[in-house]
Amino acid sequence: MKGLLSKMFSSREKKGSDPRSITMEEIREAFSGFAYGDSYSGERVTPESAMRCAAVFSCIGVLAESVAQLPLKLYKERADGGKDIAKDHPLYVLLNSQPNPWMTAFEWREMGESWLCLTGNHYAFINRVRGEVREILPIPSDCVTVERNDDWSLKYTVNFGNGRGQQTVDSANMLHIRYRMKDGYRGISPIGYARESIGLALATEKHGARLFKNGARPGGILEHPSKMSPEAAARFKASWQESFTGENAHKTALLEEGMKFNPLTMTSEDAQYLETRRFQTADIARIFRVPLHMIQETEKTTSWGSGIESMTIGFVRFTLLPWLTRWEQSLAKDLLTEEERRTMYIKHVVGGMERGDMKSRFSSYNVAIMSGIMSPNEARALEEMDKREGGDEYLSPMNMRLGTDGNTDNNMDGAASGQGGSK
pLDDT tens, position by position, 378-421: 988 877 688 899 999 998 877 666 555 555 555 444 444 444 44
- DSSP category for residue 45: E
- DSSP category for residue 259: -
In contact, 60 and 118? CB cutoff 8 Å: yes
Report if residue 395 sits inside a domain: yes
The mean per-residue pLDDT over the stretch 365-376 comes to 91
Distance of alpha carbon 100 from the chain centroid: 22
For 105-152, how does the pLDDT look when each residue is reduced to its tens digit (9 = 90+)? Answer: 999 999 999 999 999 999 999 999 998 999 999 999 989 999 999 999
Residue 316 pLDDT > 60, yes or no? yes
In contact, 292 and 298? CB cutoff 8 Å: yes
Residue 210 pLDDT > 50, yes or no? yes
Report if residue 26 sits inside a domain: no
- Paired with 103 in beta bridges are 100
Same domain, 297 and 365: no
The mean per-residue pLDDT over the stretch 342-358 comes to 81
In contact, 44 and 203? CB cutoff 8 Å: no
Range of the domain at 374: 352-422
Same domain, 59 and 94: yes
Q: How many CA atoms lie within 13 A of 154 on its CB side?
A: 16
DSSP string, 240-309: HHHHHSGGGTT------TT-EEEEPPPPHHHHTHHHHHHHHHHHHHHHHT--GGGGT--TTSPPTTHHHH
Say what the pLDDT of residue 218 is. Answer: 52
Same domain, 318 and 368: no
Report if residue 259 sits inside a domain: no
Same domain, 67 and 176: yes
In contact, 294 and 281? CB cutoff 8 Å: no
Say what the pLDDT of residue 386 is. Answer: 84
Report if residue 231 sits inside a domain: no
CA–CA dist 187, 189 (Å, integer): 7
CA–CA dist 18, 232 (Å, integer): 31
Residue 18 pLDDT > 70, yes or no? no
Closest to 126 in 3D by CA, of 117, 118, 135: 135
Same domain, 77 and 127: yes
Q: How many domains does the chain have?
A: 2
CA–CA dist 115, 67 (Å, integer): 13
What is the model's pTM? 0.72
CA–CA dist 212, 218 (Å, integer): 10
Say what the pLDDT of residue 22 is. Answer: 52
More confident site: 71 or 223: 71
Same domain, 323 and 284: yes
CA–CA dist 362, 272 (Å, integer): 48
- Paired with 144 in beta bridges are 158
Report if residue 265 sits inside a domain: no
Most confident of 76-90, 207-221, 271-285, 290-304: 76-90
Among candidate residues 292, 326, 351, the one where a domain is terminated:
351
Report if residue 289 sits inside a domain: yes
Same domain, 345 and 390: no
- DSSP category for residue 408: B
For 20-69, how does the pLDDT look when each residue is reduced to its tens digit (9 = 90+)? Answer: 455 555 544 444 444 566 788 889 999 999 999 999 999 999 999 999 99
Same domain, 360 and 211: no
Closest to 399 in 3D by CA, of 417, 377, 376, 381: 417
Task: Say what percent of the chain tops pLDDT 90.
Answer: 48
CA–CA dist 341, 91 (Å, integer): 13
Say what the pLDDT of residue 311 is. Answer: 82
Say what the pLDDT of residue 407 is. Answer: 57
Same domain, 417 and 277: no
Task: Say what percent of the chain tops pLDDT 70.
Answer: 72
Report if residue 226 sits inside a domain: no
Report if residue 313 sits inside a domain: yes
Say what the pLDDT of residue 421 is. Answer: 45
CA–CA dist 382, 236 (Å, integer): 73
Same domain, 370 and 416: yes
Same domain, 317 and 366: no
Mean pLDDT, rounded, of the chain: 80
Same domain, 161 and 180: yes
Amino acid at 395: L
